[in-house]
Amino acid sequence: MKFMLTLLSVAALLPAAADDPGLGRLFGERGLQGVMIISSLDGRVEYVHNDAATGIRRPPASTFKIPNTLIALDCGVIKDDREVIPWDGTHYRNAAWNRDQTLASALEVSCVWAYQVLARRVGEKRYREYLKKLHYGNADPGRRVDTFWLEGDLLISPREQVDFLKRLVRRELPFHDDHVDLVRRIMVRERTRRYTLRAKTGSTARMEHQYGWWVGWVRTDAQVWVFATCIEIRDPARDLPQREALTRAALKLKGII
């Protein structure tokens, strides 16, 4: 038993076997700390940076707009991506927020106030039911119905992000196909002859320790690759653009895009 414990103690000190040296170089070249998972839909091929931290939960921030859109549609608090969410005239630093929104525009510009309007329509009770049913992170909406995904009540890990997105791609979530199709359509960020990339950013800007997310999937002719990147944000102006740039560099490194 003592020998077994010694082996386990030594193993705990060794680098995670799943850590990919190529991804590690990309993080190192940019001076970034964080986690990345790129996984084939069937899970047979996976590239990981910082495997030991893939289970650490953080607030999903605006990546929660993916399930939040599905929940809002399923509840009927908004009909489709043509229905307008009226702007109340409050001025925000992000000029793209200072106008009426639809689901498509609000997702594209990550408009917090528009999704807060929808959140108040959904309500805490229904969120608790949906989050539990979806097995989404810790499934805790707390008591602040219009900020829980931004300020730390709701938490999810990179590994759980990948699992959720895989279930979305496979249409295994308890939502109508029409609603899933709508979300897939408004998530498209790039479409080429070789691949289609769908993704969503997130940033925990309201918290003392900030993190930036970029999650989504790439569909090629041969495979679907699901990814989740979460990096520490020390200098927002410098680091926030790296969520996408770093992930794209990794997808190119692996020949996916």
CATH number at residue 165: 3.40.710.10
Report how far residue 78's alpha carbon sits from residue 88's, in angstroms, rounded to the nearest whole number. Answer: 17
pLDDT tops 70 at residue 2: no
Looking at residue 18, its pLDDT comes to 73
Q: Is residue 5 part of a domain?
A: no
Q: Is residue 55 part of a domain?
A: yes
For 32-48, what is the mean pLDDT?
Answer: 97
Q: Is residue 9 part of a domain?
A: no
Q: Is residue 30 part of a domain?
A: yes
Place of tokens 């386990």: 8
Strand arrangement, sheet containing 224-233:
46-49, 34-40, 224-233, 210-220, 195-203, 188-191
Q: Is residue 6 part of a domain?
A: no
On whether the CB atoms of residues 71 and 127 are closer than 8 A, the answer is: yes
pLDDT tops 60 at residue 246: yes
pTM of the model: 0.91
In the residue annotation, 62 being an active-site residue is answered as yes
- Residue 128 corresponds to which tokens in the numbers above? 């608790």
Number of structural domains (the chain) is 1
SS3 sequence of the chain: CHHHHHHHHHHHHCCCCCECHHHHHHHHHHCCCEEEEEEECCCCCEEEECHHHCCCCECCHHHHHHHHHHHHHHHCCCCCCCCCECCCCCCCCCHHHCCCECHHHHHHCCCHHHHHHHHHHHCHHHHHHHHHHHCCCCCCCCCCCCCCCCCCCCCECHHHHHHHHHHHHCCCCCCCHHHHHHHHHHCEEEECCCEEEEEEEEECCCCCCEEEEEEEEEEECCCEEEEEEEEEECCHHHHCCHHHHHHHHHHHHCCCC
Looking at residue 9, its pLDDT comes to 40
Comparing 13-17, 76-80, 184-188, the range with the smallest average pLDDT is 13-17
Looking at residue 151, its pLDDT comes to 87
Report how far residue 1's alpha carbon sits from residue 153's, in angstroms, rounded to the nearest whole number. Answer: 40
Q: Mean pLDDT for the chain?
A: 93
Q: What is the pLDDT of residues 110-142, one digit of tens each?
A: 999 999 999 999 999 999 999 999 999 999 999
Share of the chain above pLDDT 70, in %: 93
Q: Is residue 3 part of a domain?
A: no
Tally of CB atoms within 10 A around 18: 14
- Considering the candidates 39, 40, 62, 203, report the single residue annotated as catalytic: 62
Task: Grade residue 213 by pLDDT with cuts at 50, 70 and 90.
Answer: very high
Comparing 3-7, 65-69, 77-81, 158-162, the range with the smallest average pLDDT is 3-7
- Kindly report the CA angle at 185 between 55 and 147, in degrees rounded to 5? 50
pLDDT tops 50 at residue 240: yes
Looking at residue 208, its pLDDT comes to 77
Q: Which domain holds residue 92?
A: 17-253
On whether the CB atoms of residues 125 and 31 are closer than 8 A, the answer is: no
Q: Is residue 228 part of a domain?
A: yes
pLDDT tops 50 at residue 177: yes
Q: Is residue 70 part of a domain?
A: yes
